[in-house]
Amino acid sequence: MYAQNGSAFMADEDLLYTVLADLKRTVREYTTAATESNCQAVRRVFNDLTMDTLRLQGELYTQMSQMNMYTPPGKALRQDLDKQIQTAQQTQQKCQQFVQQKIGGAGNYTQAANVPLHQANVHSQNPYYM
Amino acid sequence: MQSTQMQALSGKELEYIADSISNEDLLIKQLAATAGTTQNSTVHQICVQQIQSHSHHMSTLIQLLQQHQQYAPTQPQ
């Protein structure tokens, strides 16, 4: 077959898991590089590489799942989901009120029900804004 | 974002490109090592396909460096 010697260095599962972890890290680094690019040509390349690496990571994950090499994560409970929806709707309402206070009721600001608001952690201390 | 014209790379951009080449290099080597030891033909096929994509990424990054070579100043500015 494909083995060069009798005993494998590591199980296929472990080796592919390492590749999967490195793909995740590489996607993050490409994203960061794109946001910090000054030259548009460089940004475009990092953007394209982000998308392609994301695709490769997704494909590998799917293939590993199909070979039962990856245990799917546990399901979120209904009560936790209900609670999050309630909190999110309150957050959305308060956000809309804030916007109306700041820009007035005459604006056309509408928040589609299925469009998520920005997550709070997006605004965490990011030292990389250009 | 600046103009669409090709310009000199920033020091940071150069570092990101160099780090990205290292990442692609590591991925290719890990995939090649996996392909070389596996006895599973599906795993072998997955690795070979991924190696092709990552080799293409590495070429793209090297081309990016080459495209900016002529715009790089020879003295610190």
**Amino acid present at A56:** L
pTM: 0.78
Contact across the interface for B67 and A19, Cβ inside 8 Å: no
Q: Quick check: A50 and A30 in contact, CB under 8 A?
A: yes
Alpha helices by DSSP H, listed for chain B, are 11-37, 41-69
Contact B31 A19 (CB under 8 A): yes
Considering CB atoms only, which of B2, B17, B44 is closest to A40? B2
ipTM: 0.90
Quick one: average pLDDT of A72-101?
96
Taking every pair of Cα atoms in chain A, the longest distance, rounded to a whole number of angstroms, is 74
Shortest CB distance from A15 goes to which of B24, B34, B64?
B34
Residue B17 CA neighbour count, 13 Å, CB half: 23
pLDDT at A110: 57
Q: Tell me if A33 and B13 make a contact (CB, 8 A cut-off).
A: yes
pLDDT of residue A72: 85
